[in-house]
Amino acid sequence: MKTPVFLGIDIGTSGIRGSCIDSQGNELLSHRLALESTTDPAYWLTQLDCLLLEISDRLEQCSHPKSICAIAIDGTSGTLIACDKDGTPLAPALMYNDQQAQAQAEIISRFAPADSAVHGASSSLAKALLLLEKFPATERLCHQADWLAASLSGRYDISDENNCLKLGYDSRTQQWPDWLQENAENVGIDRHLLPQVLAPGETVAPVLAKKTEKYRLAENCIVVAGTTDSNAAVLATGACETGDAVTSLGSTLVIKLFSDKPLFNPEYGIYSHHLNRRWLVGGASNSGGAVLLKYFSRQQIDEMTPQLQPDQPTGLHYYPLPATGERFPFNDSSKQDISTPRPASDVEFFQALLEGMAGIEAQAYKKLEALGAATPQRIFTAGGGSKNTAWTKIRQRITGLPVIQAQHSEASYGSALLALKAVKNEK
């Protein structure tokens, strides 16, 4: 008898990755394929096909036979495709960062509540209105993850509530909101165009028989509702309890916190996803690794890191920003970078910058708590900066919280956990 495995797939901007885990959550294998920069869904489908075939081959080469019994897919939030009823794309996708729908965003602003995630030209709803204007024959609106998952299940009418947040779905009431339906004539979207919404980790449908055979999947393999790429990455860290916080130390400083209640505050760019029966509250500072690269090369950073003295504060109080303006924990478009006075020692300057970013992280979590989110208990860390042990000590000292290295950092692993969750829930 073959051992059941659970597959998570992450499609990002530069690659598509699959992770297979066993029923205990151990990662058995992962595989990544590069993606060209394109908005053509057919190309994504070709790469998904290649990925599934390669993973199937590798599973068959294992010493003990294994078969995939559940698949969950995450994708970039806000990437939208207009399709006919059978899921055939009518045009290239509008990507997550596309800003064409300025006029549509203006219309939405007249009707949507101020705390809704639909505001702005990059929202799924603004893109949907633009696509409907250009392609009035549209019968399905699919997010990137929806569409790829539907290629396996045939269900192009289903999405998950995390991807649907920016399309207008109200996770607090678990339904499409009244304001969207009451203003359909003005906003320009009919209810029948909106997908059925499932929670991440819920079963969508069995995999189509022809796909099961092609990819040598388990006979009863299911497709599971996924999530956004950033949420899948949070799940991968191991954070799961109320009070678990996740800081992503990339080019910017992304702050997320599992809370017992939602928090929506557009002033600070804060909104909440319903995930694993909790609320994932998030905000982002403009500070982060991009600031360090203003002053030092990666080689210099690597050379200076062993010389840091994390237990000896520099006494410099920086607020390092790559340019003018901040989003969170302060909403101030005119906020200035504070990285002076600069000491003679580059190592001391480097440490002061790290201390400044740790201070921003601490203020961010205090701001979330002050606005009504849960009290942070521990911080899981992902991103390139998470590997810097000296910075971890600095952050622990300044935040006063234990800082934990993420168990996994790939979104595909987080999606695999959703696939596993669905099968466990069915038993």
Q: What is the pLDDT of residue 422?
A: 95
Identity of the residue numbered 370: A
Tokens 């466990």, located at residue = 424
CATH superfamily of 3-229+411-426: ATPase, nucleotide binding domain (3.30.420.40)
What count of other Cβ atoms lies within 10 Å of the Cβ of residue 106? 11
Residue 352: the pLDDT is 98
pLDDT, block means (10 residues), the chain with 427 residues: 93 93 96 94 97 95 88 95 96 94 94 92 95 96 97 98 96 93 78 94 98 96 96 95 94 94 92 95 93 95 96 97 94 95 97 98 97 96 87 97 92 97 85
User: What was the pLDDT predicted at 320?
Assistant: 97
Q: How far is residue 328's CA from residue 325's CA, in Å, rounded to a whole number?
A: 10
Name the residue among 277, 253, 276, 278 with its Cα closest to residue 263: 278
Nearest-10 crossing angle of helices 124-134, 102-111: 120
**CATH 3.30.420.40 domain range(s) in the chain:** 3-229+411-426, 241-405
Query: How open is the CA angle 15-409-11, to the nearest 5 degrees?
Result: 25
CATH node for 241-405: 3.30.420.40
Q: Give pTM, 2 decimals.
A: 0.92
pLDDT score recorded for residue 363: 97
Encoding tokens for residue 347?
A: 């190592």
Which are the contacts of 202, defined by CB distance < 8 A and separation ≥ 6? Answer: 160, 224, 225, 422, 425
Per the listing, tokens 């996740």 go with 246
